[in-house]
Amino acid sequence: MNNKGMSTTLNPGPIPPDVLADGEAIVAAIMAGKKPDPALARKVRDRAERMGRVSTADGFSLWSSLMVDCPQLFASLPLMPRAYSISSSARLGIYDCLYVALSEQEGCEIVTDDARLAALFPKQVVLLSTL
């Protein structure tokens, strides 16, 4: 047991591609402002338990401890028109441009180690190495 009362006998092996794809589908749904498919979420959880990555008893405690420091989540779908416009003009991937659009909306800076992003948007992006 660790200091939070959870077992520490997790299997740290590589994550199989199908499990990774399912997890990415859950994240994509959240980014689109949608509720992830409950059946898919159960499948990922059940697979993690069967693989020995997490015990049934510890699963909820581990999730809860992650969510304590969870940043505020924003739906990305409302940001897509602006992100697409930025992507087209900057010739940059839409994923990065979602962060730029969110930065504009929230009036805050982006902290990253992406030098290209910082060069393209010097007023909005702060390089981590400069902090």
Query: Which structural domains are found in the chain, ordered by start?
Result: 17-68 (no CATH), 77-130 (3.40.50.1010)
Mean pLDDT of all residues in the chain?
76
Q: Is the pLDDT of residue 39 over 70?
A: yes
The pLDDT tens digits of the residues spanning 41-83 come to 777 777 777 777 777 677 677 666 666 666 677 778 899 999 9
Q: Which two three-digit tokens encode residue 11? A: 């299997």
What pTM was estimated for this model as a whole?
A: 0.50
Q: What is the dihedral of CA 33, 86, 90, 74, to 10 degrees?
A: -30
Task: Report whether 76 contacts 33 (CB < 8 A).
Answer: yes
Q: Say whether 125 sits in a helix, a strand or coil.
A: strand
State mean pLDDT over 17-37. 67
